[in-house]
Each structure stands twice: as C-alpha cells, then as structure tokens.
C-alpha cells in the first residue's frame, strides 16, 4: 500500500517535477498546481492531475494558501509537498494544512517559525552552542537606524531579510553610503518575495566559504546529518555551482560542523529534511548563517554521494515512519557537482532572459563506470520562460570518483547541453569548469567578483583553441561541400572538398591551415597543420563523422576529444565550446586575405542611449532630463524575476530625455533614456 494516496505538489518547475518523480516511484498519485502562465508547463503534464490556482504573479497563485487548500479538497490530496520557495517555509501554511487534516511533507510549524526568522534563529543557535556571527540582535526599522547599527557593528556588514532566502533582500555594505543605498532595496525585495520587510544587520566575514550541512530527522527524536555541501560559487548571493563534499572540510571539521547542525535541529524539535548553513573563514572557523526548513535546491549533490533519496525520506517521515538510517550508516562515496542552468545573459551582467525555448536538448542522463549525469529540469522544447518567476531552467548534476572526475564529467555534459531561443549561462558555466582556481578548490563567496570584476565576456580564442576551432570549421565546410557534390545534377568537381590550403576567420582572428592527407571517401577524416611565418606546425589527425544539420561536432583533433556546438550564422558557422563562442568561416587563402582587410563594425548608438538589458518592470527613474551624472551613478531600477536591478551610468553623461515611467513593462533593448552627444566633464 502507498504511504499516501495522493500528494499535491505546491510548486512549479524543476522541483515540482523532481517531487512527482519520487512520488510515482513510491506508487503515490500526484497533483500539480499551476498559474495561467504555467498552463503548458512540464510539471502540469507530468502529474496525474492538475489544478489552476490563478493568474501570475506568485502573489496571486502559488502564494495563496486558500487556493492550495481548495485544490487539495477538489482532488482529495491527503498530503502536500511544498518544494522550496513559495510557501515552503510559511508557518501559517503548515498550520492551515494541519487544521484541514492534510499532511504537510516538511517540518512541524514550530520548527519552521523558530528557524524562519533569522533574528530568532540566531538567538536559538547561540543557546544551542552553535557558533554565530557578531551582529545586531534585532530588526532595524529605518535607513537612519540601519546606518547607526552598521557603524556600531563595524563595516563591512550584511543587510539581510529576516524572512526567506535565495539571496533575496541581501546587500553587502562597506560604508554608510552603501547602507543608505541598499536598505530600501533590501526592504523592497524582502517585501515582494516574502511579505516581510524586516532587515537584520550582521558583520560580513571577508572571503568566506559557504558550507552547509544536510540534516534529517523523524517524529521520534532521531536526527542525523548527511555531510556537507560547498556552495561558495555565488552571484548576488545566489548560488550557481554546488558540490559535495567540500574541498575545505576534513573529517574533523565535518564531525564538528555536523554535530552543531544536529544540536540546533534537536533544540527546535526538527522532524524532516533541512539544512543548516554556515560560513567558513580562511582559517576554517565557521559560523551559523541560517537554517532552511525545507528541501534545498542543491540537494541532488548530497543524494549522489550518499545514495539517499531525500524526497522519499521526507515523505516517509511525514507519514510517521521512523528513520531507518543511523549516523554510522552515512558515508560519502565519490564527488558530485551541480550547475544551475539559468535563463540569463552572462554577457549582459547575468541579467534575466525570457522567451520560448526554440531548441532544448540536454545531455543524456545515466551512469557509466560509476560516473553519473543527472538532470533535474522543469522545461522542454517549446517551453516559455516567464518574467514572473525565478530564471532557473534546470540543474545539471554529475558524479565522479573524485572532484576532478566530477568536474570533467560536468564539462563534457555542458558541451552537449543545447539551448536556443533565449540567453543562458551555459557558456559561463563551461568556462568556469576550466578555471584554474575553481579546479584547485580555492573558493570563496567572492570568487565571481574577484575573478570576473568587469563581468563575464566570452574569451577570444587564441593559440591551440583558435587552431582547434579553425580545424572544426574546415571539417564542417568539407562535409558541407561533400554533401553538395553528391546531389543529383551537380558537376562532380573537387571544389572545396579537394582543397588543400585554407584560411579561416575565427571571430576577429585569422588562421592559415594546410591539409597534408585526406580520406577521399570521408570528409571528416584528414590530417591538417597550421601555417604561419613561412613555417608549418606539426600536423594533427582529425576524425569526425559530422553531417550537415548535426547540432554537435563530435570528434578528435590530434587525439583530443572535442564536442563543439554548431549553429548557422550569416557568414559561416557559430561554434560554441567551453565558454568560447565565435563565428567561423573557412575560405580560400585569397578570400581570407581580403576578409582580413574589412573594417570592424561600428558600435551603433550604444553610447547615446540606455536600453533595458532584460524584460522587466520599471520600479523607479533616478534622474531627470538635463541632469549631469557621473560614471557609476544609478539611473534606473528595473525588476525582473523577483530581483531589482540598478542600471548605472558607464561614464560621465548628460541626460537628454527619459522615455519611460515607473510601472512601465519593458521589452529587452527598449530605450529607457537618451543622452546628449557630449560627455559630461569630470
């Protein structure tokens, strides 16, 4: 007999699909809920039943407790799994379900209340003997009080929403001016995301790691921890890459940190899956950050190294079963890495992107020789990425025998991950996997700010990378010409298929190549060498069976395996590989010489206008026509996917006109304001 008859999943996207998957395996019926914008979403299709709960945004649908209760009554669901976000940490939701006789698959309301308030949770943690960060004991009510408290605590400080998580309502302030600028935004984000605008202030620990402990408890007082996760690769306090275990944690630190996490969970009578988050300084001192009384986004890395399905454990515990696991049963096998695939443009400061997934082809899931590829996704080809919700598309998780093996697995999986129709962060994730500091495990939450201080831009291929991509371009052109040559009615000349010398433009760079040997029956199999300065490099053997229309060029060059994404471009092909993204064109040497003389394209009107970098809602306009602004000054605030984005002047400017007003909904690249042709004096 199933543990429950029917579980309603009070969430959307990948986490809804994830919960439904485990419920199905346990033989439990499932109910999805959806807003109007999610009518065709994957979680709706995947569940046994689905109920519409209102229009977007979340405040009119996924956050309305009565709508969820009505859906339970309509479908006869006897349990609710909240996923993460939305109502997952709302005490009143768990209490309302209990009153209605419906089981909440999560901790008891008292534990949620105790840990959901960051101010109260910090007091409880200190009482339980958990290391805590120095800071102010209560909420601050005004900008003036915030400045006074921050000055007393000592800069730098963290402004943090007392409710919720996920990086919403968080700002680092290094001065009183930063506090003045960040306090209102933190309050606004907190109010919008959690309905609670209380802000606390605590000391910001410089160059910390973010390390968290997964705990699991039942209703009989049994509590264990499942080791740690490292979540230090963050942007705007939003995690991007997570791993388990942490490269900075040894057995001794794991035991101490895990012991404190269990002690805190025991102090509040915790009885489900939850996470106790810590920050760790460079000397491996750690301090309590917060406890999340729900399933974490990054839970799959723990599942892969422990072999434990956390959703299943939550369901069984909620049904009244005792934990079948003891602390001695827990061991960590191998290493797991998770990359969050976001609908955002890394070349535009990681601003959100919306639209339809014209092509969505994730890598194949499965396990081979102990290496695992897993995808927790909530979209499919044709899905619409909406402005109303978090930009997470999917989570890509890999497991290997050790950390480098897991990273290499991730790199290969990212190479195969195809998304078209929207901007996404796969190029950035792919480049990061090759980053020396990341691979060495020298991490902190400041990693992205330190390594990409000017934001991310696709690197310019040079050296071996430029040569390899140029060879791929030649291979593609040979295959294309071979196909044309085989078509009926065409002259059977050698054309490009028999050409020996090639000139290839890779972005703004030109590479000269010469084929030294070729298989007349297989255009993707040949030997080729780079030429230059009167010399020819050692030739490389190329082997690929790429055919026109294939989205991936899979092959070897000089014995090195490559998986390159191929897209058509106006003049040539667009090649994407490990963070490199260039248009390549294979030509005769003469045409390549002429191509090198072409002048670069003009930048257009980029210096004279401020365009909206993502679809969003105008929150405020901070300047007026005729006003002189300095480089770095805020110009406007635009909200997209629950995050407020401050748009700043890139140089000294004079505002000529403002074309929009607060409350306007803008499309990407819509002009917000225009500037005069003159640059303002310093």
Ordered alpha helix ranges (H), 169-237? 176-194
Please name the helix (run of DSSP H) or strand (run of DSSP E) that holds residue 431, with its range, or none: helix 426-433
| Active site annotation includes 290 | yes
Residue 16 burial class via C-beta count within 10 angstroms: exposed 0-12, middle 13-18, buried 19 and up: buried
Q: Which residue has the tokens 């690249």?
A: 669
For residues 53 and 87, what is the distance between their CA atoms, to the nearest angstrom?
A: 14
Residue 557 burial class via C-beta count within 10 angstroms: exposed 0-12, middle 13-18, buried 19 and up: buried
For residues 482 and 416, what is the distance between their CA atoms, to the nearest angstrom?
A: 25
CB contact at 8 A, 156 and 172: yes
For residues 43 and 528, what is the distance between their CA atoms, to the nearest angstrom?
A: 49
Tokens found for residue 349: 């400061």
Q: Using alpha carbons, select from 269, 351, 338, 272 the residue that is nearest to residue 303.
A: 338
649 to 610, 616, 638, 646, 666: CA distances (angstroms): 9, 19, 14, 10, 19
DSSP β-ladder status, 29-34 and 6-9: parallel
Marked catalytic residue, from 230, 290, 303, 477:
290
Mapped onto helix, strand or coil, the DSSP state of residue 148 is helix
Residue 420 burial class via C-beta count within 10 angstroms: exposed 0-12, middle 13-18, buried 19 and up: middle
CB contact at 8 A, 398 and 415: no
Q: Does residue 245 have a cis bond before it (omega within 30 degrees)?
A: yes
Angle made by CA atoms 190, 191, 197, in degrees to the nearest 5: 70
For residues 143 and 161, what is the distance between their CA atoms, to the nearest angstrom?
A: 14
Angle made by CA atoms 246, 247, 248, in degrees to the nearest 5: 90
316 to 104, 217, 271, 310: CA distances (angstroms): 12, 11, 11, 10
DSSP β-ladder status, 418-420 and 359-361: antiparallel
426 secondary structure, DSSP code: H
Provide the strand spans (E) within 380-468.
Answer: 384-385, 392-400, 418-420
For residues 6 and 71, what is the distance between their CA atoms, to the nearest angstrom?
A: 12
CB contact at 8 A, 18 and 314: no
For residues 499 and 16, what is the distance between their CA atoms, to the nearest angstrom?
A: 54
CB atoms within 10 A of CB 230: 24
What residues act catalytically?
290
């Amino acid at each position: 007999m199933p543990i429950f008859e029917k579980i309603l999943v009070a969430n959307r996207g990948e986490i809804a699909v994830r919960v439904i998957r485990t419920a199905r395996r346990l033989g439990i019926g499932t109910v999805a809920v959806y807003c109007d914008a999610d009518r065709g979403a994957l979680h709706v299709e995947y569940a046994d039943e689905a109920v519409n709960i209102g229009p977007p945004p979340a405040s009119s649908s996924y956050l309305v407790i009565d709508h969820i209760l009505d859906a339970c009554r309509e479908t006869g669901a006897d349990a609710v799994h909240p996923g993460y976000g939305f109502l997952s940490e709302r005490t009143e939701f768990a209490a309302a379900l209990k009153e209605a006789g419906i089981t909440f698959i999560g901790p008891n309301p008292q534990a949620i209340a105790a840990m959901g308030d960051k101010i109260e949770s910090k007091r409880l943690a200190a009482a339980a003997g958990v290391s805590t960060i120095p800071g102010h004991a209560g909420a601050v009510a005004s900008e003036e009080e915030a400045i006074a408290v921050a000055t007393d605590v000592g800069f730098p400080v963290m402004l943090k929403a007392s409710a919720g998580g996920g990086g919403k309502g968080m700002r680092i302030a290094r001065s009183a001016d930063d506090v003045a600028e960040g306090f209102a935004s933190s309050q606004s984000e907190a109010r919008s995301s959690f309905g609670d605008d209380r802000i606390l202030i605590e000391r910001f620990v410089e160059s910390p790691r973010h390390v968290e402990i997964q705990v699991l408890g039942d209703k009989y007082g049994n509590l264990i921890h499942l080791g740690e996760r490292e979540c230090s690769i963050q942007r705007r306090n939003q995690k991007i890459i997570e791993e388990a275990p942490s490269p900075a944690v040894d057995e001794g630190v794991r035991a101490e940190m895990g012991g404190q996490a269990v002690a805190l969970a025991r102090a509040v009578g915790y009885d489900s899956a939850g996470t106790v988050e810590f920050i760790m300084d460079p000397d491996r001192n750690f301090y309590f950050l917060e406890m999340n009384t729900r399933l974490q986004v990054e839970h799959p890395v723990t599942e892969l190294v422990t072999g434990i399905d956390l959703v299943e454990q939550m369901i069984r515990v909620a049904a009244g079963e005792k934990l079948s696991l003891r602390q001695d049963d827990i061991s960590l096998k191998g290493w797991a890495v998770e990359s969050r695939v976001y609908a955002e443009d890394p070349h535009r400061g990681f601003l959100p992107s919306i639209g339809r997934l014209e092509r969505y082809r994730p890598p194949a899931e499965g396990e081979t020789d102990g290496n695992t590829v897993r995808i927790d996704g909530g979209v499919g080809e044709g899905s619409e990425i909406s402005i109303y919700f978090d930009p997470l598309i999917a989570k890509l998780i890999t497991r290997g025998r050790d950390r480098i093996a897991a990273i290499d697995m991730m790199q290969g999986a990212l190479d195969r991950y195809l998304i078209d129709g929207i901007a996404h962060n796969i190029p950035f994730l792919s480049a990061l996997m090759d980053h020396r500091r990341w691979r060495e495990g020298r991490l902190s939450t400041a990693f992205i700010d330190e390594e990409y201080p000017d934001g991310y831009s696709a690197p310019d291929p040079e050296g071996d990378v430029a040569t390899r991509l140029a060879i791929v371009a030649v291979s593609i052109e040979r295959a294309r010409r071979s196909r044309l040559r085989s078509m009926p009615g065409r002259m059977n000349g050698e054309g490009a298929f028999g050409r020996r010398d090639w000139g290839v433009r890779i972005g703004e760079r030109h590479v000269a190549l010469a084929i030294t040997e070729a298989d007349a029956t297989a255009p993707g199999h040949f030997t080729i060498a780079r030429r230059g300065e009167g010399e020819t490099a050692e030739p490389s053997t190329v082997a690929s069976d790429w055919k026109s229309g294939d989205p991936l060029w899979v092959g070897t060059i000089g014995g090195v395996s490559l998986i390159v994404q191929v897209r058509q471009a106006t003049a040539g092909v667009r090649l994407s590989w490990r963070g490199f993204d260039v248009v390549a064109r294979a030509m005769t040497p003469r045409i390549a010489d002429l191509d090198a003389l072409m002048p670069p394209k003009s930048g257009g009107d980029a210096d004279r206008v401020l365009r909206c970098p993502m679809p969003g809602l105008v929150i405020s306009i901070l300047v007026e026509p005729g006003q002189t602004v300095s480089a770095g000054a805020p110009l406007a605030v635009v909200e997209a996917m629950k995050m407020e984005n401050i748009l700043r002047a890139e140089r000294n400017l004079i505002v000529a006109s403002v074309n929009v007003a607060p409350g306007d909904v803008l499309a990407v690249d819509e002009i917000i304001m225009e500037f005069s042709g003159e640059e303002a004096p310093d």
